[in-house]
Amino acid sequence: MANPLKPVDVVLVGFGWTGSILAEQLTQTGLQVLALERGKFRDTVPDFATTQIQDELRYAARDGLFQDTARDTLTFRNSVDQTALPMRHLGSFLPGVGVGGAGVHWNGQLWRFLPEDFVIRSHTEQRYGKGFIPADMTIQDWGITYAELEPHYDTFDYLCGISGAAGNIQGQIQPGGNPFEGPRRRGYPLPPLKRSYPTVLFDKAAKEIGFKPFPCPAANASAAYKNTLDVQMGPCTYCGYCEWFGCGNYSKASPQTTILPVLLERKNFSLRTQCDVTRINLDSTSKRATGVTYVDQQGRQFEQPASLVICCTFAQHNALLLLLSRIGQPYDPKTNTGVVGRNYAYQITSGVDVFLDEIMNPFMGAGALGQAIDEFNGDNFDHGPEGFIGGGYIALWTTGGRPILQHQLPADAPKWGAGWKKAMAENYLKSASIATHGSVMSYRDSYLDLDPTYRDVYGDPLLRLTFDFHPNEIKMSGFLTDKAALIAQAMKPRSFHAIPRIGHYSIVPYQTTHNTGGCAMGADPRTSVVNKYLQSWDVHNVFVMGSSVFPQNAGYNPTGTVAALAYWAADAIKNHYLRSPGPLVHM
């Protein structure tokens, strides 16, 4: 029997980016807010000190900061006719664990989605006709507009001290920025990061072709910055140990470097770490949550009563928690009914490796130091002749040259032996890589449910992921890869080769931790789990954060939109829900 505890107003399940944002916002109202985090407490000092964090083996090759698959993993298959098998160790994506979540070890590539991304179905139907969308593609409008989210994107930009060059301020196109972005109310708080040599070559090459390259927006501070909570950040030193690592320098925006110094001082906030939430508890009507059940480090089970439960556990974990707690109807691909687990999506990436004559010093870099073009993202170009939906950005990132996992070799280099060694000696310092970062639409057969066989440490079913790339995405990614190769060629390299994304999706090689869907937001409860305020349609005092609410994935990294949605939802909770708790959208 679980031990009952003293009730709180709000319980946050998971304490990464969204948990920290919600905690900071809701403690402002005087509510008693408790965050339960399954991992350990960690902070810049001592955990990310440069004397120990710059260890590629421990943190990158051995996944030192990420979810422990021995405790919790998922099962995976490409299609419903296969048997899903456990992801026995991490590969394709790297969910975080511990205070700060994946916000500790992200890159800081901070994007906004395009205005059209939020209305993709209606926009596509209007521009290209209904028949343009394949029958099995289940894309839908978000139920929210870019204009509604814009103030909240801005809030996050100024919290993090984003370094960048604005492309569109209140409708005025700005030289040097991304001319395709949605209008922003003001410029970035900091100028762009210093440019690495490969990004300069990319910029020149892209311009020669006629594209409009710009410095990628970065949550790596280009200068000292005092943020909107009065927290001080230091300038990035281009150490090149950014993604997969914590920043020892207070330069990469994370919950630790932007929010926690203020939040942890607030008397009405409390945090319990190494507490794994296993259920959201419901009352006898199943219409209201009474709190959560969690297991602490010693295996003791507790019941934490709360008036409001907010799921901040990262993408697919949110879907798992709802499925285990029986909140919302589970999705069934056979009958195409139910919503929880529906519309899982991801990111489709490809690359072009470039080998140059001069020294590039790839080890100097930062997680979001890159130059990009956006001509082929979203609906920035005419899809009619191409016959696919979606797009992505093409960027040359210089995030670091960590030798085990970040070296490239020409296509004809031997895979091992004396020839491999020679190729390593000749190419490591003189290589760069262009990445494409494409959208993934949602489909009837891409979803999450509970695995019938495999269990986690508590004996609960693992989440089961059924997912593959569809022809639409393979075609779109090939289109982006061809454009990237054009730029590579214009960089006048010794050699270059494209690495297109082909074949089935594989759980093995790292791609991105941009898992989306499973708890889609929307205007229609038959096709969404939460309403436009991220509130459960079924249980009004449960809210769901994170990329789990994306109905499909756009061609950008998710966190800008994840954070903007968190501020948007916090706003609705503070200004509407608390005044009269109940559904914020009436059907």
Ligand X SMILES: Cc1cc2nc3c(=O)[nH]c(=O)nc-3n(C[C@H](O)[C@H](O)[C@H](O)COP(=O)(O)OP(=O)(O)OC[C@H]3O[C@@H](n4cnc5c(N)ncnc54)[C@H](O)[C@@H]3O)c2cc1C
| Active-site option among 514, 540, 576, 586 | 514
In DSSP notation, 529-544 reads: SB-TTSBBSS-TTEEE
Under rule CB under 8 A, residue 367 binds another protein:
yes
CB 369 within 8 A of CB 384: no
Question: From the list 180, 214, 241, 393, which residue makes contact with another protein (rule: CB under 8 A)?
Answer: 241
Question: From the list 27, 43, 84, 103, which residue makes contact with ligand X (rule: CB under 6 A)?
Answer: 103
Single out the segment in contact with another protein by CB under 8 A; choices: 77-85, 329-337, 528-536, 576-584.
77-85
Under rule CB under 8 A, residue 424 binds another protein:
yes
**Residues 330-349 within binding reach of another protein (CB under 8 A):** 349
CB 467 within 8 A of CB 344: yes
Q: Quote the CA–CA distance of 487 and 189 in Å, as a whole number.
A: 30
Which C-beta is closer to ligand X: that of 359 or that of 404? 404
Question: From the list 397, 479, 537, 568, which residue makes contact with another protein (rule: CB under 8 A)?
Answer: 397
- The binding track of 163-202 with respect to ligand SF4, each residue x by CB under 6 A or -, is ----------------------------------------
Single out the segment in contact with another protein by CB under 8 A; choices: 8-16, 64-72, 338-346, 441-449.
64-72
Selection from 186, 254, 244 nearest residue 220 by Cα:
254
Torsion angles phi and psi, residue 131, rounded to 5: -65, -10
Which C-beta is closer to ligand X: that of 36 or that of 120? 36
Question: From the list 23, 26, 87, 102, which residue makes contact with ligand X (rule: CB under 6 A)?
Answer: 102
Q: Quote the CA–CA distance of 227 and 159 in Å, as a whole number.
A: 5
Under rule CB under 8 A, residue 381 binds another protein:
no
Under rule CB under 6 A, residue 220 binds ligand SF4:
yes
Q: Quote the CA–CA distance of 242 and 239 in Å, as a whole number.
A: 8
Question: From the list 249, 377, 515, 559, which residue makes contact with ligand SF4 (rule: CB under 6 A)?
Answer: 249
**Residues 498-537 within binding reach of ligand X (CB under 6 A):** 513
Q: Where are the beta strands (DSSP E) in 125-169?
A: 168-169
Question: Is 383 annotated as catalytic?
Answer: no
Question: From the list 238, 269, 314, 567, which residue makes contact with ligand SF4 (rule: CB under 6 A)?
Answer: 238
Pairing state between β 214-215 and 172-173: unpaired
The dihedral formed by the CA atoms of 25, 27, 31 and 32, expressed in degrees to the nearest 10:
130
CB within 8 Å of 196: residues ≥ 6 apart: 238, 360, 361, 364, 365, 369, 398
Under rule CB under 6 A, residue 14 binds ligand X:
yes
DSSP bridge pairs for 172: 169
Under rule CB under 8 A, residue 429 binds another protein:
yes
DSSP letter at 451 equals: E
Q: Min. distance of Cβ 355 from ligand SF4 in angstroms?
A: 24
Which C-beta is closer to ligand SF4: that of 149 or that of 253? 253
Question: From the list 100, 192, 328, 401, which residue makes contact with another protein (rule: CB under 8 A)?
Answer: 401
CB 324 within 8 A of CB 459: no
CB 409 within 8 A of CB 427: yes
Under rule CB under 8 A, residue 66 binds another protein:
yes
Q: Min. distance of Cβ 506 from another protein in angstroms?
A: 4
Helix 559-572 and helix 146-160, axial crossing angle in degrees, nearest 10:
110
Q: Which amino acid appears at position 481 of this protein?
A: T
Single out the segment in contact with another protein by CB under 8 A; choices: 59-67, 184-192, 320-328, 572-580.
59-67
Residues carrying an active site annotation: 514
